[in-house]
Amino acid sequence: MTAPTLCASAISKAFTTGKITNQVIQESTLEILPAELTLVVGPSGSGKSTMLSMLSGLLRPDAGRVLALGEDLWSLSEAEVDRFRLQHCGFVFQGFNLFGALTASENVILPMQYLGVHGAEARALAQAALDEVGLGPRSHLRPMELSGGEKQRVAIARALVKAPRLLFADEPTSALDSTNGAIVVELLKRIAREHGTTVLGVTHDPRLLSHADRVIQLEDGRITRDERPINSNVTH
């Protein structure tokens, strides 16, 4: 059996506005495995993005524990959590989050600067990442010259360039049409397979579920379903 790379034990999260407290995640426990694409699904407000944020070191749970690559994530200091994310995590968001003044290559190089990788080495790594997502010949273009699907692939290359062991995707296809959405989700699945990366995404798009190795359903902050689609051929 492959050891899980992400483990959440009885994590909970509530948000309070004025006198109203909204319990978003309720004592949820799950384990996520490497080398496969896991999608968390559920209606709007079910807690999908909150769950992703707690597992990825972006949001501290009110209760419970998260083990990421064997690290007790929320026992670390804020600076240590930031460093963990920088070294081990890649992120892909629905809004692409690209810098319009930078070329595709320059956008991908950016995270390497924070890791102390510069110059020719950073350029070569960025080019390799863009080649992998099929955008090598368009690396000199700026976001305004790229389609929505191409922008998201640049964002994936930016996440991929530092070879993260954990890759998180928050609604990565919501701004895309069905064709580009399928390209992006299959790319994420291939990254999981070929790099052994743990890829965890959240989506409300039912068209993506057949592409996943595993689907976790959230409703009202609780896990109500955890299954592998019939077409999944991953064995552990």
> What pLDDT was estimated at residue 86?
93
Which of 167, 160, 173, 176 shows the shortest CA–CA distance to 211? 173
Inside any domain, residue 113: yes
Inside any domain, residue 108: yes
Contacts of 218 (CB under 8 A, 6+ apart): 28, 40, 41, 42, 46, 47, 48, 51, 224
Inside any domain, residue 234: no
Number of domains in the chain: 1
pLDDT tens by residue, 74-129: 999 999 999 999 999 999 988 889 999 999 999 999 999 999 999 999 999 999 99
Contacts of 75 (CB under 8 A, 6+ apart): none
Tracing tokens 């959590």 back to the chain, one arrives at: 81
How many degrees, rounded to 5, is the angle at CA 189 between CA 164 and CA 52? 60
Give the residue numbers spanning the domain of 158: 6-227
Mean pLDDT of the region 199-217: 91
Q: Give the tokens for residue 18.
A: 């004025």
Inside any domain, residue 236: no
Name the DSSP class of 102.
S
> Considering the entire predicted model, what is its pTM?
0.93
> What pLDDT was estimated at residue 234?
45
Inside any domain, residue 232: no
Percentage with pLDDT > 70 across the chain: 97
- For residue 18, which amino acid is it? G
- The enclosing domain of 130 has a CATH number of 3.40.50.300
Inside any domain, residue 102: yes
- Whether 219 and 43 have beta carbons less than 8 Å apart is answered as yes
Inside any domain, residue 1: no
